[in-house]
């Protein structure tokens, strides 16, 4: 299917239906950016919508809460509606608010209710540390010991988690399950629908961390019956550093009072009554705690416009083609240099990035940056490369592999120390 020539990469770009969107982004002509799974690039639309919100503050002052093109008072709800299609949710089931870990705390505080024999939370040993810290914290707040009440499913190979092992761990002691949609190191996409069905068969609530999938992979949370989910917007959704978080709650749980109540979770018709009795919103907005982060939400207005135009299915199609092409080039051009592809090869199991494993990974990443390729390192030995559908060209992918090949042939990585920088 694929050829290894530059001309073939150029032919893929010519046929790319999304190639015009590359012009929407601020691309450094001297670098190839393959780290969009950590921080997406700035688009012109995101810049414009940020400037519009800044001008609404400048021109309207306090009246910006209820006036202008995007009144701040309703912005979180509006962005939630625009995000809903990305995760297969109903519009009122998503709210854009707070940060990823704050939202996880909110959701676990709401849905983790240990009683009787059901006192444990089920997670996995490959999850992102912040999620585990939050789960440990919530268990402690219940007066329980995380060493006993946090169950982490083991990985057999250090890079993936077997769904069979997760299902076997769904015992009568489990009160809540929290898992990633995509494992952040290897890019393994879990079978969300299957795991949700199996959890519900056993009377267990289940939620997912979508940080490494939302904006790259279609989900169908409502149809699958997922109880809750949460994700960031600064990776594939390109909302900028510190961009606001998002959460989803299935509408069947709207009768719950959130575990952490705050003023902005109020019914908006009641919020300014200033009563001391909390009246929650009758949608996912009830799970807001504090005042919306208006300036860090603003870029998302412009960014989500593009996702609405394109549709997440078309984005996924290009993402899969990009990762498949990248893996082909790795196998053809980098054989003999001891690279291992650590992500699943099956398209139904692969997220939005390619995970290259190498014992010199940290110093290879440094050499790549010196040669104009921006990768991502994850300890102990992973180079993550993300060909993002909206702005990575197939020629970018081809050039990147040629640069890796040159670095390895000439051992240019050897001048660097094989350890991560402060931020990796």
My answer on whether 118 and 219 are in the same domain is: yes
Q: What is the mean pLDDT of the chain?
A: 97
Residue 178 lies in a domain: yes
The whole-number average pLDDT for the span 45-66 is 98
Q: Is the dihedral of CA 81, 85, 89, 90 positive or negative?
A: positive
Residue 120 lies in a domain: yes
d(C-alpha 396, C-alpha 373), whole Å: 9
My answer on whether 119 and 177 are in the same domain is: yes
My answer on whether 372 and 298 are in the same domain is: no
d(C-alpha 235, C-alpha 419), whole Å: 24
To the question of whether residue 128 is assigned a binding role by annotation, the answer is: yes
To the question of whether residue 131 is assigned a binding role by annotation, the answer is: yes
Q: How far is CA 197 from CA 200, 226, 360, in A?
A: 5, 9, 41
To the question of whether residue 72 is assigned a binding role by annotation, the answer is: no
Domain ranges, residue 303: 48-309
User: Which of 245, 274, 309 lies at the terminal end of a domain, its last residue?
Assistant: 309
My answer on whether 289 and 378 are in the same domain is: no
User: Which of 258, 282, 309 lies at the terminal end of a domain, its last residue?
Assistant: 309
Residue 236 lies in a domain: yes
Taking CA 369 as the corner, what is the angle to CA 234 and CA 210, rounded to the nearest 5 degrees?
Answer: 25
Residue 274 lies in a domain: yes
Per-residue pLDDT of 239-294, as tens digits, reads: 999 999 999 999 999 988 999 999 999 999 999 999 999 999 999 999 999 999 99
420 compared with 162, residue with greater pLDDT: 162
My answer on whether 304 and 350 are in the same domain is: no
Beta strand pairing call for 205-209 and 228-231: parallel
To the question of whether residue 218 is assigned a binding role by annotation, the answer is: no
Rg (CA), the chain: 22
Checking if the pLDDT of 228 tops 80, the result is yes
Residue 41 lies in a domain: no
Structural contact between residues 231 and 80, judged by C-beta atoms closer than 8 angstroms: no
Q: What is the pLDDT of residue 419?
A: 85
To the question of whether residue 323 is assigned a binding role by annotation, the answer is: no
d(C-alpha 139, C-alpha 406), whole Å: 50
Residue 423 lies in a domain: no
Residue 37 lies in a domain: no
d(C-alpha 145, C-alpha 413), whole Å: 45
My answer on whether 140 and 264 are in the same domain is: yes
User: Which of 294, 309, 324 lies at the terminal end of a domain, its last residue?
Assistant: 309
Residue 35 lies in a domain: no
Per-residue pLDDT of 86-95, as tens digits, reads: 999 999 999 9
- What CATH number is attached to the domain comprising 337? 3.90.1150.10
Checking if the pLDDT of 422 tops 80, the result is no
My answer on whether 244 and 124 are in the same domain is: yes
d(C-alpha 76, C-alpha 71), whole Å: 10
My answer on whether 301 and 362 are in the same domain is: no
Checking if the pLDDT of 424 tops 80, the result is no
Checking if the pLDDT of 183 tops 80, the result is yes
With tokens 């692969």, the residue in question is 350
d(C-alpha 419, C-alpha 424), whole Å: 10
Domains identified in the chain, total number: 2
Checking if the pLDDT of 150 tops 70, the result is yes
CB atoms < 10 A from the CB of 15, how many?
A: 9
My answer on whether 113 and 217 are in the same domain is: yes
Prediction pTM value: 0.97
Checking if the pLDDT of 235 tops 80, the result is yes
d(C-alpha 323, C-alpha 318), whole Å: 9
To the question of whether residue 130 is assigned a binding role by annotation, the answer is: yes
CB atoms < 10 A from the CB of 416, how many?
A: 16
DSSP 182: B
Per-residue pLDDT of 191-221, as tens digits, reads: 999 999 999 999 999 999 999 999 999 999 9
Per-residue pLDDT of 391-412, as tens digits, reads: 999 999 999 999 999 999 999 9
Residue 176 CA, chain-centre distance (Å), reads 21
| Residues of the chain above pLDDT 90, percent | 97
To the question of whether residue 234 is assigned a binding role by annotation, the answer is: yes
The phi, psi pair for 280, rounded to 5°, reads -70, 155
My answer on whether 100 and 234 are in the same domain is: yes
My answer on whether 102 and 229 are in the same domain is: yes
My answer on whether 132 and 219 are in the same domain is: yes
Alpha helices of 38-128 — where are they, by DSSP H? 44-60, 75-87, 100-111
- What CATH number is attached to the domain comprising 200? 3.40.640.10
């Amino acid at each position: 299917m694929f050829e290894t020539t530059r001309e073939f990469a150029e032919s893929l770009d010519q046929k790319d239906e999304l190639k015009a969107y590359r012009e929407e982004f601020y691309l450094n002509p001297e670098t190839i950016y393959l780290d969009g799974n950590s921080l997406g690039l700035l688009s012109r639309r995101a810049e414009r919508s940020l400037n519009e919100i800044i001008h609404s503050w400048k021109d309207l002052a306090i009246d910006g809460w209820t006036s202008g093109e995007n009144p701040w008072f309703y912005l979180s709800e509006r962005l939630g509606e625009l995000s809903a299609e990305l995760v297969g949710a109903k519009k009122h089931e998503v709210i854009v608010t707070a940060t990823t870990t704050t939202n996880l705390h909110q959701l676990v505080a709401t849905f983790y209710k240990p009683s009787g024999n059901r006192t444990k939370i089920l997670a996995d040993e490959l999850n992102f540390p912040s999620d585990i810290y939050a789960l440990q914290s919530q268990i402690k707040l219940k007066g329980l010991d995380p060493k006993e009440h946090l169950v982490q499913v083991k990985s057999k190979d250090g890079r993936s988690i077997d769904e069979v092992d997760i299902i076997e761990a769904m015992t009568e002691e489990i009160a809540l399950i929290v898992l990633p949609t995509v494992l952040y190191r290897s890019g393994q996409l879990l079978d969300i629908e299957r795991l949700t069905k199996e959890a519900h068969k056993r009377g267990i609530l289940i939620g997912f961390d979508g940080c490494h999938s939302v904006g790259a992979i279609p989900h169908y949370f409502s149809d699958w019956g997922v109880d809750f989910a949460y994700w960031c917007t600064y990776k594939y959704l390109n909302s900028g550093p510190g961009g606001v978080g998002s959460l989803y709650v299935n509408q069947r749980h709207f009768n719950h009072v959130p575990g952490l109540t705050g003023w902005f979770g109020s019914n908006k018709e009641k919020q300014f009554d200033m009563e001391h009795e909390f009246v929650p919103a009758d949608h996912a907005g009830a799970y807001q705690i504090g005042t919306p982060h208006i300036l860090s939400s603003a870029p998302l207005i412009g960014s989500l416009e593009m996702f609405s135009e394109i549709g997440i299915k078309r984005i996924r199609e290009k993402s899969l083609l990009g990762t498949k092409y990248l893996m082909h080039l790795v196998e053809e051009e980098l054989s003999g240099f001891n690279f291992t592809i650590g992500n699943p090869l099956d398209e139904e199991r692969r997220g939005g990035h390619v995970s290259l494993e190498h014992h010199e990974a940290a110093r290879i990443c440094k050499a790549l940056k010196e040669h104009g390729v921006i990768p991502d390192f994850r300890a102990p030995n992973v180079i993550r490369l993300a060909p993002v559908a909206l702005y990575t060209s197939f020629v970018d992918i081809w050039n990147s592999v040629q640069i890796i090949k040159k670095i390895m042939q000439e051992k240019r990585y050897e001048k660097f120390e094989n350890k991560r920088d402060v931020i990796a």
